[in-house]
């Protein structure tokens, strides 16, 4: 039963865990009967943002009562979204700047791809829930909560929601028994395949309530800050160590310095060889040494001067040796 409590602004209506004063985000809605149930009990849906993975056309095609539920929600002031991936909530332009008191995902399921006990399928389910936790944890107001309604029996309990949540800086507050009768009009749907509009057996279910662990979140933020500073420091060192790779000015400065290096003295390397061979070798050394950088005029003029002198020596008697 809903209970009413007087609020300074207006009468506050509670439906189990949810208040008419809460900003609510519902993801993974099937025929939108859960959000419609809340809105009807609240008497308004101005605090409700309800979304589905399916497009509007697919929703009304798959579920017989979807069109009626959507009409009711719209009339009561709900904000409705379609084609929303629960693992990429912040990529939606209508959601990325909003914050909520409760983010609700009832009976998440990655699809019917075999037996529920299949490790491959369990891994797909866990990836879905982890992706949801990762996004939803960044969309909460202060003291906000994430609610996931889920089956308690095997193999569903093998998803280990608590462990997935802890990887997103979330801690379990408590588990509350989920009863479909607490939400008149709600119909859980398979959502996939030829029987998409048929209900599935609920059995023993709970709503798992999570909130952000402030101490874990603080440590996570601190760790990210350290990694960012290390990354920036590494980039600074790289730019300092290899300046000629990053700016035209540093490249030109490097080239000028290189062109001013003294030419190698090759005379000791050619003791005992003819003067002509020595001149030829020296000419090749001049070519290799002078053009330290292909973009500076100084090294080009200097090498041309040296080459001209070497050419005159060769022309004056050493042409055959060369």
pLDDT-based confidence at 5, cuts 50/70/90?
very low
pLDDT above 70: percentage of residues in the chain: 68
Task: Among 142-146, 189-193, 205-209, 271-275, name the one with the lowest average pLDDT.
Answer: 271-275
Q: Measured between alpha carbons, how far is 45 from 13 in angstroms, rounded to an integer? A: 12
Partnered with residue 312 across adjacent β-strands are: none
Q: What residue ranges define each of the domains in the chain, with the CATH number in brackets? A: 3-224 (3.40.50.150), 243-318 (no CATH)
142-181 pLDDT per residue, tens: 999 999 999 999 999 999 999 999 999 999 999 999 999 9
Q: What is the pLDDT of residue 11?
A: 87
> Which is more confidently placed, 303 or 155?
155
Q: Measured between alpha carbons, how far is 31 from 72 in angstroms, rounded to an integer? A: 12
Q: What is the pLDDT of residue 288?
A: 54
Strands 48-52 and 24-27: parallel
Nearest 5°: phi and psi at 185?
95, -15
Q: What's the distance, Cα to Cα, between the start and end of the chain in Å?
A: 108
Q: Measured between alpha carbons, how far is 255 from 262 in angstroms, rounded to an integer? A: 14
Tell me: pLDDT of 87 over 90.
yes
Q: What is the pLDDT of residue 4?
A: 41
pTM for this entry:
0.66
Q: Compute the average pLDDT of residues 110-119.
A: 89
Q: How far is CA 62 from the centre of its chain?
A: 31
- Provide DSSP, 254-297: HHHHHHTSPPP--GGGGTTS-HHHHHHHHHHHHHHHH-SSTT-H
Collapsing DSSP to helix, strand or coil, 46 comes out as coil
Helix (H) or strand (E) holding 102: strand 100-106
């Amino acid at each position: 039963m809903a209970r009413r409590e007087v609020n300074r602004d207006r009468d506050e209506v509670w439906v189990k865990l949810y208040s008419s004063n809460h900003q609510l985000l519902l993801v993974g809605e099937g025929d939108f009967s859960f959000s419609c149930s809340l809105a009807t009990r609240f008497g308004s849906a101005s605090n409700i943002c309800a979304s589905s993975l399916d497009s509007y056309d697919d929703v009304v095609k798959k579920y017989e009562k979807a069109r009626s539920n959507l009409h009711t929600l719209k009339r009561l002031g709900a904000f409705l979204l379609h084609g929303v991936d629960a693992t990429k909530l912040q990529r939606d332009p209508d959601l990325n700047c909003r914050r909520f008191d409760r983010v609700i995902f009832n009976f998440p399921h990655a699809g019917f791809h075999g037996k529920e006990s299949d490790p491959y399928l369990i891994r797909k389910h866990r990836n879905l829930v982890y992706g949801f936790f990762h996004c939803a944890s960044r969309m909460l107001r202060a003291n906000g909560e994430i609610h996931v309604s889920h089956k308690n029996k095997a193999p569903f309990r093998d998803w280990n929601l608590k462990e997935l949540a802890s990887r997103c800086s979330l801690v379990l507050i408590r588990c509350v028994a989920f009863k479909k009768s607490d939400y008149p009009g709600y119909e859980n749907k398979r959502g996939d395949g030829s029987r998409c509009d048929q209900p599935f057996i609920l059995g023993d279910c709970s709503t798992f309530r999570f909130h952000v662990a402030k101490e874990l979140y603080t440590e996570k933020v601190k760790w990210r800050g350290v990694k960012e500073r290390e990354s920036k420091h590494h980039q600074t060192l790289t730019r300092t160590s290899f300046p000629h790779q990053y700016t035209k000015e540093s490249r030109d400065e490097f080239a000028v310095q290189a062109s001013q290096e003294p030419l190698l003295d090759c005379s000791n390397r050619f003791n005992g060889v003819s003067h002509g061979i020595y001149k030829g070798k020296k000419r090749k050394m001049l070519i290799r040494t002078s053009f330290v950088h292909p973009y500076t005029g100084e090294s080009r003029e200097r090498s041309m001067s040296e080459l001209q002198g070497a050419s005159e020596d060769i022309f004056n008697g050493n042409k055959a040796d060369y």
